[in-house]
Structure 1
Amino acid sequence: MKRIFFWLKPYRLSLSVIVFANILSIIFSIFSLSLLAPFLMLLFDKVPLVVEKPELIFSSESVLNWFNYYVSQIIQTQGKQAALFLISALVLGAFLLKNILDYSANWLMVPIRNGVLRDMRNKLYEKILILPVSFFSKEKKGDIMSRCISDVQEVEVMILRSLQQIFREPLTILFYLTALFFINYKLTFFVLLILPIGAGVIGLISRKLRKKSVEAKDRMGQLMSMTEESISGLRVIKAFNAIWTAENIFQKRNEKYTKLMIKIYRKVDLSSPMSEFLGTILVMVIMIFGGNMVLNGNGELPAELFITYIALFSQIINPGKTISVASYNFRKGMSSLDRIDYVLNADEKIIEKDNAVEISDFIDKIEVKNLYFKYEEDYVLKDINLNIEKGKIYAICGHSGSGKTTFTDLLSRFYDINEGEILIDGISTKDFKINDLRSLFGIVTQDTVLFNDTLFNNIAFGKPETPMEDVIKASTAANAMEFIEQLPQGFDTIIGDRGVTLSGGQRQRISIARALLKNPPILILDEATSALDTESEKLVQSALANIMKEKTSLVIAHRLSTIKDADEILVFNEGEIAERGTHDELMEKRGIYHKLVEMQSFVE
């Protein structure tokens, strides 16, 4: 409950009003039900009229006598029909006020429920953007999406919709039990001895339900993850005629999820009849025990009070039943909250110091000293020592998995190194403000990342106030204006998910335009290995040449022409810089680089 109250904290005032409205509603309900039995006994002459005004003291019998006296006065002076109309009006008025208060509480609860969902979604999205890249290399994308969408919705359905019952029904039971104590404390004590047995049975089933619900959420995450992977890899699935294979795997997982959900809902559906049956047992026990007290004739429990007692106790059965169902739903919803908290409580790892230093420009050099880094157990980078001087071009090459991309990720602090340090102009990257540090770098990745938005917003990504003339200038330098001008809506064209409406070369040029617009002092480029037509390749290479002018560039190079033009070549092998130098120097050494060239590992 503590975790739920954390989300409810901003809505304390509204919740207080809801609780107050619920209390008044319960009081009006008790008042109206308590009037009926004594009044009917008087109306049909089952008890004598009270002619002398009794003394009002704090006891059920005194209150009953006081009520009988005033009703008797009305019957004597105005007749039974007048008394009938008056009591009916009082009961009707009490129920009207009760229902107005109930609706008011529900009306106030709606914005609370939706507000909590909004807050959860906002917090989750903020956390996703803050979490290090390493977190998402371990987790399935579909499962994270399931936590952010399905689990948040499940919290609304299973927990927040139960909040009204959770706030209201315990108060209902408490106030009705207080009224029952007031009527006859012995009988009520007897009831309280039996109630925990039913609560224990319901609680036992609820605990089992939560465990099953956690498993169900994980299975739903697997289904969403597989769906997302299948959509992304649809071309591969069709090309390899693997549709049947994918369907078979999905159907097996879906069948397991379905069977698990059947078990869960059968347990949920058990809550209502079980609580109703337990309530009926209680009523029968009260009938036997209380009926004997009336039949004994010692005046301990008058017949009219016993009827009132039964009427009031019957009003506890529905709240008890509602709490039972809400408890089941709450347990089921808590499993979703656990999955949401897993993301929200994940270790951010990349943490900015309180006294972090601002940086706005790159002046001299980047120094890498004794750098070691690992994702899991084994180091993927070992003993890296390097000076990257301003204005120079560095070509990074090596076999796949040698640590090239990991090294460039560490410069902009997507990960924190395990040992050693990276200094920019003599200051550790860990001492800079993270946003300032990353503003120094422009990144053009091999797998172009574009968003389902307009061309303008993709190029001006992160800088929405950018003037159109600056976007046009960057697009021209990236050789992208040629095809943008041919589009019917120009820069306002929506390019689809991941830029699917554009060709490979067009996507790369938009990515380059984005980096040009940012105009960072340091560039990290990962040359695309995908095959482009000759014209597109020339345009992309020309755009890359434009972006590297007067910049410090680190190029994960796949083209021999790019490597030859570099001021220095860094050859990575098994996590170490095995060789470094110019093209001619490394060819003379006849080492790893020479083998890579001889094996035609690079594109001409």
Structure 2
Amino acid sequence: MIGTIKLPKLLIFVAFILNLGRAAIQLIIPEKVAAITSINLGDGNEAVNLAVATCITLFLLAIGEFVGGLVSTYITLIARALISKDFRKVVTKKTFRLRAQDIEAQNPKEFISRITADTEFVGEFLIDLLVNEIPRLYFVISTIIKVSQMGNAYLVLGFILVIPVIVIGSLWSGSVSYNALNRLQASIAKLTAILAEKVNNIETIKAYNKTEDEVSSGYTAIDEMRNAQKKNTWAVAFNTLISNILFIIPMVIIMLMGATQLLNGGVSREQFITYFGLGITYQTYIAAHLTLWVLWKRAQGATKRVRQILHLEDDCGGEIRNLKDDRIEFKNVSFSYGDRTILSDVSFSIEKGSKTAIVGKSGSGKSTILNLIERFYRPEKGSILLGGEDIERYEITSYRSNCAYLPQNAPGFSGKIRDMLIYGTGQSFSDEKLYEILEKVGMKETIEVMGGLDYEVGTNAIRLSGGQRQRLAVARMLLKDSEMVLADECTSALDLAGSIKIASLIDEYAADKTRIIVAHNLATIKDADRIIVIDSGKVSDVGTHEELMKRCAVYQSLLRGEEGNAS
């Protein structure tokens, strides 16, 4: 997964060199302090000059270590932010390249948390590993070598005894931190998903007087997150306690080993001061592994969830770039949403340049057929052919460029009317052309009253009605000029007269194109070349309106139901 991230190598290298330099300075400072204590100022000016020079050297070393730490911290924070930014781009790009069915299976709204929070933890761990870990190891190894050169095995033993104490504590606290933070991240993702869902459906909530119920469900999610935060707070407090213990115990071990040897004459006073000074920084560097371990456990939980996204297959397969505007065939296609079977062993064909309607009761699988053709979903069994080739073999961008898709709910994005019209067309159009198309779909006067093509439609095009969004979607289809039109009840928000007018417009525009239409209003598809009747996920019959009226009970029932509603 790291290979997908573009690392700021120069910044990492500079911070690494600075930290390596700081580690080298921290190795020198105890020796200089010990050297000062060994100077006898009564030996004359030479001793005084030596003491002054040593103090100046110590001061410069301290300043260098301080400035190096300051600059290193600043560079590290920048590098971490850049890594997190790049990682977010990777996850965002991957998210938009996934199949719709994979996104839906993961809960789309939880992706927000994955992109914002989880990626931050990964960047934090990577920077600590790349910038700090080798300088820590350099200092630890160099310290043990320096102490061993003092010729006293007990001093080396003291430094070695410190390691298992800190490692055991780090492993223990890291495990506690991982479990607590994992629960917290999951609760944050859940709350994000719940709030996004409720806000998007605020009108329905208010219309059915469910405000208090939804507030209660929101409170429940907030309480769950709060409980997770409390457990995480306890984990942080526990880690703080362990950190303090891991500071005190090693210091006691180092002090006892050094003091014992000093009293026994095993080391000189100068050696003891050097040993003790190195020991303070030594145990700090060893304890820093606790931080790295905690960061690793935190990142482990984050990467586990992010990997679930990155390991999903991209929605970009296929090697055939020249799309064949030809016959479409469903061969024994089956598809399920989880455990619920939607289509079962469906087979039919759609001729090039024909108008084919798909009808059936609600939930029978009509929209799923269009989603499969558009390659939002992949069949579990069977195959879908275009011109004799499996549609999965066509390069996805070329394939979809030749499909004009009109979804039922006609979703919109924030921006201007102009943006909604040209979205996905890959072209620019004059205002005259846009108004010409708007007039065809019956929206020109409405847009002019609103203020023109630069009218801001609001988030999710909330300032437009469902019918207006559907008319704009049809206008966009006219501008795109694709070889295939997939219309999924694209006039469901319009009245009968509006539906018939738009249906006639689509027929006029796409007279020589392949049209596949899911219709809620059967009056708009009676003239279809073929009508495919779907019942409970299976093909009940295929034929013209006249043929189906004679022999298909399901079609007759649908038509009677529509006539009954009309009356």
Q: Same fold (TM over 0.5)?
A: yes
Q: Is 1:85 aligned to 2:85, yes or no?
A: no
How far residue 257 of structure 1 moved from its aligned partner, in angstroms, is 2.0
Alpha-carbon contact 1:369-1:422 (below 8 Å) kept: yes
Q: Is 1:303 aligned to 2:276, yes or no?
A: no
- Taking the aligned partners of 1:338 and 1:484, their CA distance within structure 2 comes to 48
How far residue 476 of structure 1 moved from its aligned partner, in angstroms, is 3.7
How far residue 536 of structure 1 moved from its aligned partner, in angstroms, is 5.8
* Percent identical residues: 23
Aligned partner of residue 200 in structure 1, secondary structure: helix
**Correspondent of 1:249 among 167, 192, 217:** 217
How many correspondences in the alignment? 564
Aligned partner of residue 374 in structure 1, secondary structure: strand
Alpha-carbon contact 2:470-2:491 (below 8 Å) kept: no
Matched with 2:447 is: 484
Alpha-carbon contact 2:80-2:123 (below 8 Å) kept: yes
Amino acid in structure 2 at the alignment position of 1:306: F
- Taking the aligned partners of 1:562 and 1:136, their CA distance within structure 2 comes to 33
**Correspondent of 1:220 among 188, 194, 199:** 188
* Correspondences of 1:133-212 after superposition (within 5 Å): 133-156=100-123, 160=127, 164-166=131-133, 168-186=135-153, 187-212=155-180
Q: 1:109 to 1:568 in 2, by over 3 A?
A: same
Aligned partner of residue 328 in structure 1, secondary structure: helix
How far residue 169 of structure 1 moved from its aligned partner, in angstroms, is 3.7
Q: Is 1:436 aligned to 2:402, yes or no?
A: no
- Taking the aligned partners of 1:285 and 1:174, their CA distance within structure 2 comes to 18
1:66-101, Cα deviation, whole Å (9 max, x unpaired) = xxxxxxxxx65x444433321122112222332333
Matched with 1:517 is: 479
Matched with 1:54 is: none
Q: 1:590 to 1:384 in 2, by over 3 A?
A: closer
Amino acid in structure 2 at the alignment position of 1:468: S
How far residue 238 of structure 1 moved from its aligned partner, in angstroms, is 1.6
Q: Is 1:423 aligned to 2:385, yes or no?
A: yes
Alpha-carbon contact 2:406-2:490 (below 8 Å) kept: no
Unaligned stretches of 5+ in structure 2? none
- Taking the aligned partners of 1:453 and 1:564, their CA distance within structure 2 comes to 37
Matched with 2:317 is: 352
Amino acid in structure 1 at the alignment position of 2:377: Y
Alpha-carbon contact 1:272-1:324 (below 8 Å) kept: no
- Taking the aligned partners of 1:16 and 1:82, their CA distance within structure 2 comes to 39
1:403-441, Cα deviation, whole Å (9 max, x unpaired) = 111112222222222333332223321222122222221
Alpha-carbon contact 1:445-1:527 (below 8 Å) kept: yes
1:376-405, Cα deviation, whole Å (9 max, x unpaired) = 456532333323122221121111121111
Matched with 1:259 is: 227
Unaligned stretches of 5+ in structure 1? 46-74
Moved more, 155-164 or 94-103: 155-164
Q: 1:179 to 1:457 in 2, by over 3 A?
A: farther
- Taking the aligned partners of 1:398 and 1:325, their CA distance within structure 2 comes to 61
Aligned partner of residue 599 in structure 1, secondary structure: helix
Q: 1:539 to 1:500 in 2, by over 3 A?
A: farther
Amino acid in structure 2 at the alignment position of 1:483: T
- Taking the aligned partners of 1:405 and 1:189, their CA distance within structure 2 comes to 73
Q: Which has more radius of gyration?
A: 1
Q: Is 1:315 aligned to 2:281, yes or no?
A: yes
1:252-309, Cα deviation, whole Å (9 max, x unpaired) = 2322221222222222233234333333233223333322222223xx3111110121
Matched with 1:230 is: 198
**Correspondent of 1:499 among 426, 439, 461:** 461
Moved more, 541-550 or 275-284: 541-550
Amino acid in structure 2 at the alignment position of 1:481: K
Q: 1:600 to 1:7 in 2, by over 3 A?
A: closer
Alpha-carbon contact 1:558-1:603 (below 8 Å) kept: no
How far residue 230 of structure 1 moved from its aligned partner, in angstroms, is 0.7
Aligned partner of residue 216 in structure 1, secondary structure: helix
How far residue 224 of structure 1 moved from its aligned partner, in angstroms, is 1.0
* Correspondences of 1:393-472 after superposition (within 5 Å): 393-468=355-430, 470-472=433-435
Alpha-carbon contact 2:110-2:189 (below 8 Å) kept: yes
Aligned partner of residue 562 in structure 2, secondary structure: coil
- Taking the aligned partners of 1:147 and 1:400, their CA distance within structure 2 comes to 34
1:194-227, Cα deviation, whole Å (9 max, x unpaired) = 4212320221121132123222222221111110
How far residue 41 of structure 1 moved from its aligned partner, in angstroms, is 2.6
How far residue 472 of structure 1 moved from its aligned partner, in angstroms, is 4.2
- Taking the aligned partners of 2:456 and 2:138, their CA distance within structure 1 comes to 54
Matched with 2:24 is: 27
1:558-597, Cα deviation, whole Å (9 max, x unpaired) = 1132122222221111222212222222222261111111
Aligned partner of residue 526 in structure 2, secondary structure: helix
Aligned partner of residue 498 in structure 1, secondary structure: helix
Aligned-residue RMSD, C-alpha: 2.8
Alpha-carbon contact 2:467-2:493 (below 8 Å) kept: no
Alpha-carbon contact 2:492-2:499 (below 8 Å) kept: no
Q: Is 1:332 aligned to 2:298, yes or no?
A: yes
* Correspondences of 1:504-583 after superposition (within 5 Å): 504-528=466-490, 530-532=492-494, 540-541=502-503, 543-583=505-545
How far residue 163 of structure 1 moved from its aligned partner, in angstroms, is 6.0
Q: Is 1:271 aligned to 2:239, yes or no?
A: yes
Aligned partner of residue 209 in structure 2, secondary structure: coil
- Taking the aligned partners of 1:101 and 1:465, their CA distance within structure 2 comes to 53
Q: 1:103 to 1:235 in 2, by over 3 A?
A: same
Aligned partner of residue 450 in structure 2, secondary structure: coil
- Taking the aligned partners of 1:34 and 1:25, their CA distance within structure 2 comes to 15
- Taking the aligned partners of 1:589 and 1:129, their CA distance within structure 2 comes to 45
